[in-house]
Structure 1
């Protein structure tokens, strides 16, 4: 067993994992906490995981479990932050870019946790329905239902926001 294996894994994959957690929570500090808790659980099993090819899936599943259960452990007064990090896209107006990103973030925040997790896994992690179902613990048909409902709700919310604020 390589004693630096876990440290090397976190150094190599920490930023994408944090980004994944942020997309789920919408709150950078909560994402850091969730990732830290998930990595603590992974570290306990590292000697077993290190010998398999499923480290990435196990870590994502640990983050998902933390995300799907964080409301049960947190006080009801904690809510996701209203700010998101600024990501500059070349060739577009800063104000328009910010307004569109903010509208999408608000719409994502309004989704139920399962729908949001499915959409993040599908569009950010680029996973298929079977892989998402294995991570979340449901059938591919349920994944498709969550995705369909989530996308429909996102479209409706974004259209409402665009009608009221953006255009």
Structure 2
């Protein structure tokens, strides 16, 4: 928004959520196994962001700040979930229908399933790079690692996905 004096006014919390909410949910869905859990994580993050909205607005890049909050919350969820999660054999899972008839839904589900088997850093890098279209430098800043670490995690993650999807 631009005020009469020509100054750019920071978006309100409501404007931020309207503009970035769907992208935050996509990010969380890429990082977590369950879409409902992803939405819960984003809701929790947005609740925290609302409580500290002045601090979020004051950040150099509020979008990156909230993205980082989602990544951290997803990582925290994984740590908690690892203690309570019980693996289920593939044959015990319900058969998902092919909604579009072209196999795209099945391909996407297969990709997301394979993506969710990756270690957290590899999965996070691939989601940020390919789902959020972030450059390696921005991912490195967001995760507080070097660009070389981002690239090596991306390389290893992609190799693992290729192996998993070629079976």
Bin for the TM-score computed over the shorter chain: 0.7 to 0.9
Change (3 A) 1:101 1:137: same
C-alpha distance 100-136 of structure 1, shift in aligned 2 (>3 A): same
Cα distance in 1 for partners of 2:19, 2:132 equals: 16
- Which residue of 93, 102, 119 corresponds with 2:109? 102
TM-score, normalising length from structure 2? 0.78
Counterpart for residue 114 of structure 1: 121
SS at structure 1 position matched to 2:159: helix
Which residue number corresponds to residue 76 of structure 1? 84
Quick one: distance in 2 between partners of 1:134 and 1:152? 24
Partner of residue 36, structure 1: 43
Preserved CA contact (<8 Å) 2:56 2:66: no
Question: What runs of 5+ residues in structure 1 fail to find an aligned partner?
Answer: 161-167
Structure 2 residue corresponding to 1:46, chosen from 33, 53, 74: 53
Distance change in 2, residues 1:52/1:66 (3 Å): closer
Is the partner of 1:126 in helix, strand or coil?
coil
> May I ask how many residue pairs the two structures share in their alignment?
152
CA distance in 2, matches of 1:105, 1:71: 16
The structural deviation recorded for 1:37 is: 1.8
* CA distance in 1: counterparts of 2:166 and 2:112, whole angstroms: 13
Deviation at 1:105, TM superposition (A): 1.8
Query: 1:124: Cα distance to partner?
Result: 1.2
Shift in alpha-carbon separation, 1:11–1:134, aligned structure 2, 3 A: same
Unpaired runs of 5+ in structure 2? 1-8, 88-92
- Inter-CA distance 25–140: structure 2 relative to 1 (3 Å threshold): same
Task: After superposition, give the CA deviation of every residue in 1:91-110 in whole Å (9 maximum; x if it has no partner).
Answer: xx725223322221221121
Compared CA separation, residues 97 and 65, structure 1 to 2 (3 A): same
What is the match of residue 163 of structure 1? Answer: none
Describe the shift of the 1:120–1:66 C-alpha distance in structure 2 as closer, same or farther (beyond 3 A). same
In 1, Cα distance between equivalents of 2:40 and 2:134: 24
Q: Is the 8 A contact 1:115 1:149 kept in 2?
A: yes
Contact 2:125/2:150, CA 8 A, preserved across alignment: yes
